[in-house]
A = this chain, B = another copy of it.
């Protein structure tokens, strides 16, 4: 009855709460519903904090979401930039890039689950933010492809189309991989193999392509 049960008072979470909230949200998204249907209260409960403490760090849930999104993409952008540093694409490099990327996804599972569910299921601003991020990858890939010797005669629009195809395909397989059980190594490996083959096949098609339409349309 005394309120001084020693184990009762939570330990030094001072200052660590913000991250705890973000982790709690990610956890809940990973093993339950999409972020859009999480309540402020369950997030705080999971984080071991009283509901009103939330407001010390975020004005509302959607702010948490945006922060989560930023955290998800920041390191990814950097990783992609490093991958792009390498030599001109060839078959060996395709395999390497895919491995790097899929490994990264696996090591950041909860973040990608979050993003995957928000891509089309989230709020309008959230969806736009994610698609802007993806379009950025597409453009960068298009720039890389422009340096292909056999692509000099392909116009900018078609380059964008090709890059979109590559990125969309990888995104789709990534989402499918996230549906697999976390420790289904075999299944995840299959996804990797498939992604590599698909990209290789696309490059076969690219090599064959001619932009026979004049610059416009």
Contacts and interface: CB of A to CB of B under 8 A. Distances in A.
A127 B120 CA distance: 13
Q: Which of A164, A198, A201 lies at the interface centre, i.e. has the most chain B CB atoms within 10 A of its CB?
A: A201
A131 B178 CA distance: 13
A55 interface: no
Contact of A203 (B120, B179, B205): B205
A144 B29 CA distance: 39
A91 to B, nearest CB: 12
A122 B131 CA distance: 19
Interface in A193-210: 193-194, 197-198, 201-209
A93 interface: no
Nearest to A193: B217
A172 B174 CA distance: 13
Interface residues of A, number: 41
Contacts of A122: 34, 121
Contact of A36 (B33, B118, B158): B33
Contacts of A121: 34, 36, 117-118, 120-122
A79 interface: no
Q: Which of A34, A123, A171 lies at the interface centre, i.e. has the most chain B CB atoms within 10 A of its CB?
A: A34
A63 interface: no
A165 to B, nearest CB: 5
Nearest to A202: B205
18 contacts: A34-B36, A36-B121, A117-B120, A119-B120, A121-B122, A161-B198, A165-B201, A168-B168, A168-B172, A169-B172, A172-B172, A193-B217, A201-B202, A201-B209, A202-B202, A204-B209, A205-B208, A207-B208
